[in-house]
Structures are given as structure tokens and as C-alpha cells.
Chain A
């Protein structure tokens, strides 16, 4: 892809998020530097800008094109999205991205919201039915990290099936069921499935 300001190769793909609108920029290194310098100095003395919050401003500070290229290839192990894809689309791939890309996202989020810690409501966890296997001691944690690993497990199950490694696929499937049973105690299962047992070790 060419730089939108000149004929050189575009190496910076910048996604600006302003007031819910996504604007994409494709720039060569020189034009990217000019652009980022402009937006930084604009942020310094223009308080209106503070509310909009560019997605890339803090991200690019002190990062060379090489470092960025490396970062761009970093992929989420659950959904497979790369940081490059996120920067292009302005949309994340799955809940785990907030953990996997935390270091990169933190300055962006702090810039957008002027804060980096949630202080609002917490979810009401799905209640286990009476008589379900969920014992009183096994309280679900606040964060849903464990349940989100199902996204990655589903992918490895598909891969195992594709390699005709059915033993492996079964094991992964049991792992998925174990997690889902903890989190979705009254899950509506496919009619044909056997009742879920405890996770296989």
C-alpha cells in the first residue's frame, strides 16, 4: 500500500478513534512522523483534543518502525487477531486481547478515557441451580478470563479434528465442557450430547 501523502510505501497504518468515528491513515515513515508530531503538539495546547483521544499517539512514542513491525505481528492466542489488524480496524478480536495486549492498550485507553481503572458496576455471576455440581466453596472469580480460554480451546479442537487426531479433539472438548459447566451451570446443551462429567485430567 502506498502512503496517502506521497508515493513511498506506507509503513504506518494509523487508526484514529474520535467520538466513535474511525479514521484510517496510511503513511510512509516521514509523513507518519510529521503527522504524529502535529497531533502531539496539537494535544499539548488544545484542550478540545483531550476528549477525542487518538488511538496511536502514545503508542508510537519512542517506537521505531522495526519495533512497530514486530508488535504488529504479535497475535492473540485465543482469537488470533494481530495488533496490526486491530490498529487497522479499531476493533479488538476477543476479551483476551485486553490481557494479551495490555501493555500496548493501556496508554491508548488512558488517553481516550483519562483513566485506567474501572470503578463502576460488577457483573452478577450466573447463579448455579440448586443441586448442581457447583459446590458452595467454588465461587466464580470476578474476571471471566477462564471462560474466555474456551475461544482458544475451540480453535485447537478444530485443528485436532483437521489433523484427524480425534483423541486429542475429545480431550480438548472435555476441557471445554468442564469450563462451561462451571460458568454456565444451566447451559442449554445440544440434545444429543451426553451429560457433562467433571473435566478430565
Chain B
């Protein structure tokens, strides 16, 4: 937000670097600002469009635990606050389908389906690369069952689950339970629909009862008819005959409907029972109490990344502490080879977690995760400190996934004309940690290698200093 309002900063969101020419002090930069199909200057961020959009998708920011629409905002307090249409999923922008609802509902007339990618040319003296990192795709380690076992999740997913503004309002539900809840909601909807129809059936039963009291019914009908047919009484007799024939047919019809209603009633009862069962199951197991954290998932692993991701030990401890804060009875274990609590106050934090919150640290690398019959994850591991192969059944297994060079780093490095190192991160000088292999291009944060927040912040300031120094020296006459 500070960045968004700073007079010396121009923020180009949803944009990609196309090319970089020139040298320190004079770079020509070409940027592709991708079409968002919504005019940033007009959109007020009111959200009407998303409310009315008929296309529902998984929400990428809430990692699939929530839902979003084809016209979306990555997260609520983002800058700019304008919405963006996901062209691949929008009904209007895909051939063949016509929708156009968002354009109709937008009061600010900001929706513009014809918007094109824009090319922006800039000139700058220096470039700072801060493209961060991506997380390892945990499903690549098939023995951990991520994606197969519902209650095996990644740390980032856990963070969203624990977040007060997240999809579960900060309650630590098991994902399997969340799925059950979703299922329950569907069942309940069906149940309610049936209920409505059944309610109609009581009305029907009343009418039918009257009908069964045939004479009354016929009389009632005849009288009614007589009233309406006063002027053509000649036809009335014939009509009466017709009526009785009709009412016979009607009886049959009524019986058919009645049978159908009985079926509905039976189904209703079935679904209601099912609802109760699921609700009961949810009731029993809604909160994750037994939680295991599995460290070095995709890091320090010869098959994937050899490096240590630096921050996962700490965030697992943090998440463990929060989970325990939520529910004092949680039993939390952290499975790691070394616990790398390296940073200011980190070891103390870890000790507090161990002694006060009761986190159990197990020196081990988990070999496999299987499932019990009722769906709980089971960890198989060797506890190296007493040389025994053991198993542990938990409600939730959390994978501390590795920090990896961000996707597209190689392409970006090509465009920038800088080298990347053997781990895939941007190469920096040994003695100039914020410099890349190209003069005037600087680097900071996880683009350079895994780093935690304070280190990234410090490096960012460092890169700024290098850039300022280089530029001011170039100008020759510092201010």
C-alpha cells in the first residue's frame, strides 16, 4: 500500500518484462502489461461484477479452499484494487459462449472485453530483480500421498486454514471434514428442496382428502360450475357428466401424485438420515487435534532440490504454536533431520515451542504416509535416536515444501542477460551479494536463494544501496 501511493514509484501490476537493452545508467525496458479486460482507472473495486458472474472457479489465493469467479481480484487489499477477468475461464471471452453479465452490471462502465495487451517502454538507470520463489509441488513425492490423501496438506494451505481472514475463519478443520461439510451443504440443499415439495404435498393431501369425500367434492365442483355456467345452463348436464368423468381421471392422477409424494417422503427421510450421519461425523472429528509436520519436503533431497530452504523449519514451528494456541489439547510433532532454527530469537522460539507448548521434535525423515480405514494419515518413519521403525496416526499431516527458483526464472534471466546458478537461482557475486553478473542489474530476496523475511528486507535495502551508489557515481556529481 505504501508502494502504491508513493509519488516516485510507478507500479505496473499484471505485467511482464519483455526485453532489457542498454547498460547501467541507461536501460531501455519493454514491458507487456497484460489485458485485464477491466479499465483500471474506472474500476472502483466494488465487486458487483464478481457477485453476478456465473462462472465459479477455485480460488487460487485461498488455494482451493474457497471459491472465486472468472472476474476476480487476487486478494482483497491488493493494488490496484481493480478486478481482472480470467480470459481462459470467462464465458464471454471464450468463443461460442455469450455472457456479458459483468459489463451490464458494472456501474462504472469499466469492463472492456476488447482490451489488448499493452506494450510499455521505460528508461531506467538500474534494475532490481526481486522475483522471489515458488513452492515445490508436493505431489511429486508420491509416497507422501499429497493430492490423494485429503488430510495431507502443505504448509501454505495450513497458513490459509489458520488465517482468521481465511476460508474457515481461523478454525483448524481437517480438509476432509471441510470436504464433508461441502458435501453436507449439497445434501442439505437437496433435502430442503425435497422439504419444500413435501410441504406442497400436505396441501395436496388436504385437497385429496376432500376429493375422496367424493360426493362432497363433486357437489362442490358442480356448484362451482353452476355458478360460472349460469348463462349456458343447457350444456350444464352434459358438462356435469364430463365433470364426473374428469374427476374419475383426476382421482387416478391424484393417486399417482400421492404415490410420487410418498417416494419423495421416503427419499427425504433417507437424505435427512444421511445428513445427520455426516453432521455427526463432522461433529466428532471436525478439529484437527493430532498434527504432524514433515520437514524438508523436496529440499535436501537428492531427487529434487539439494539445498536447504532455510525458512521451513521456522514456519512449521510457528504454525505448530498457532495450532496449539487454537486448541490446547493438540498433539503436535515435527519430523525433521535437523531443526534449523537459525536466526535472531529462533532457537528460543523453538525451545518455547518444545517446553511450553509441548511440540515433540522427532529426528527423522518420514518415509511414507498411508491411510487408516477412516481416512486418517499414518506416518511411517525411523526414529533415529532409538533406531526403531515406528508409525503415527494423525488427523492432519503438513508438508513443509521446499523453496524453489520461481517458474520462468530461466526465461527472465535470458531477457535480463544474467546468469543463474546451478540451483536455478540468479547468480550473485561472492563478494557482492546484491550484484548479478550484469552491471546495473541487482538482486535481492529469494530470487537469489532462500531467505526469510528479515533477510529479504535487509537485502532489498542493500540492493537499493548498490543501485543508488552505481547511479550516483555514474551521474558523476552526487547530490
A interacts with B: no
